[in-house]
Amino acid sequence: MSCEQYWTDKGFTDCARGEVFGFTSLFAVGSLIWTLHYVFTSKSTGSIKLPPSGESEPLLATNSQPQLGFDSIGGESNNSNSHSTDSVSHSHFDIKHAKLVDDHGKSLGHTKLVYRDFSEKTKVALEAFLLILQVVLSIAPFFSEELSDEFSGYSIALVLNFASWFYLLAVSTLRVFSASTGLSDKFPDLWYHSFTLYLLNLTTSSCLFLSVLLGGIQSYTVSLFYKINFALTFLIFLVSGLQKLGDKPALLYVLEGSPSGLASVSNFFQIISYSYIDPMIFKAHKTPLKYEEIWTLEANDHSYPVVLDFHKKPANVRITRRLLDQFKWDFAAQFGFSVISSSLVFVPTICLKKILEFIENPDLISIRSAWLYAFLMFASGVISASFRGRCLFIGRRVSVHTSRNKR
């Protein structure tokens, strides 16, 4: 069913609200299919990753590396002739045999896994509790005549909405039981999965909440339903955004004598606003920083892991495809942030046009709408600037990593 009109001075029309309500549920259904496909096609044994050892972790030094070029001496030296000079040279200069040690043979650093503490586990449990309330709320339209009338002709949207929230509750329950040890490799990182769906649900619930603020909904029951729906969705998004990024243990690089970077153990709002580096900035504001007071790089930002990852890609393909394959997730995040930022660029201009129309003719637009446009100008500007800054950061980070691969 398509609507003849979607927006009026009092918010979304009755027809538009039905379509908007079930919009994000389609993404949840697609996400469920993708998650099931990932689980059943995963080659992992379902075990939890243990802290890396010196033999498998590139940032740890190991003294078990064999010396190259001295396979045998005396009469056995003829056996080494079976290897070509190029093969010996390639093995000798292979990056896999490099040792990350200083001039005295001491390791440059080590990595450790950081699991969720009590406060992080509490946030995960609180998220699950809020999702239970949201699932109960999604059942309400099936037992309320006024809510049923609100979604008449869109009963499939009610079913999809209930299914999507129930699916998110199931995902959250799995995350609660694995909060102490982290998810096994058999599952994708469900925090990113859930947070994306929360963001989409918050967008649609905000649109429906606007109709309440603008007085477009006369029924008290329907208005209360949209208010509670927005409040719960916002709280779920807020609690999820305050959790450490990812469900799997964070990998922290520790360098003796220098503090570790906190990006891997920070939450979404700290990352998007760069507030996780405030401790170092405030300290530098008071007194000049010494070399040993500067935070170390993240484990995956060092040259050795970046180059090693590049050499793991198939060598018989073009370098462009190898780079795209290596940084595919960075490019995907940068694309998403840039799309959101670019879409919000036009919002302040449109809002300003509406405000000027209200000033010229107050009867054309209600004062509630004028205040709404004023708020949207500010909110869209802040969100656009945040995502644009994150997009630039990812782009520059990929550029630095790419330059290391060229060396």
Residue 221 in tokens: 């029951």
* pLDDT tens digit sequence for 289-317: 888 888 888 878 877 788 888 888 887 88
Assign 138 a pLDDT band (cuts: 50, 70, 90): very high
Per residue in 266-290, is it b (16+ CB within 10 Å) or e — as a string?
bbbebebeeebeeebeeeeeeeeee
Burial of 407 (0-12, 13-18, 19+ CB in 10 A): exposed
pLDDT of amino acid 225: 92
* pLDDT tens digit sequence for 159-204: 888 988 999 999 999 999 988 888 777 778 889 889 988 988 898 8
Q: What angle do CA 312, 317, 321 make, to 5 degrees?
A: 80
pLDDT of amino acid 82: 44
* pLDDT tens digit sequence for 243-277: 998 888 888 888 777 888 888 889 999 998 889 99
CA distance 128 to 136: 13
Nearest residue to 272 via CA among 199, 188, 378? 199
Q: Is the pLDDT score of 89 beyond 80?
A: no
Residue 251 main-chain phi, psi, to 5 deg: -95, 115
Q: What are the residues whose beta carbons fall under 8 Å from the beta carbon of 407, sequence distance 6 or more?
A: 307
CA distance 161 to 147: 14
Assign 122 a pLDDT band (cuts: 50, 70, 90): very high
Q: Is the pLDDT score of 405 beyond 90?
A: no
Q: Is the pLDDT score of 74 beyond 50?
A: no
Q: Is the pLDDT score of 326 beyond 60?
A: yes
Would you say 153 and 102 are in contact if contact means Cβ atoms under 8 Å apart?
A: no
Q: Calculate the average pLDDT of the chain.
A: 79
Q: Is the pLDDT score of 283 beyond 50?
A: yes
Is the overall model pTM greater than 0.85, yes or no? no
Question: Could you tell me what percent of the chain has a pLDDT over 70?
Answer: 78
CA distance 218 to 236: 27
* pLDDT tens digit sequence for 358-385: 899 888 888 888 888 899 899 999 989 9
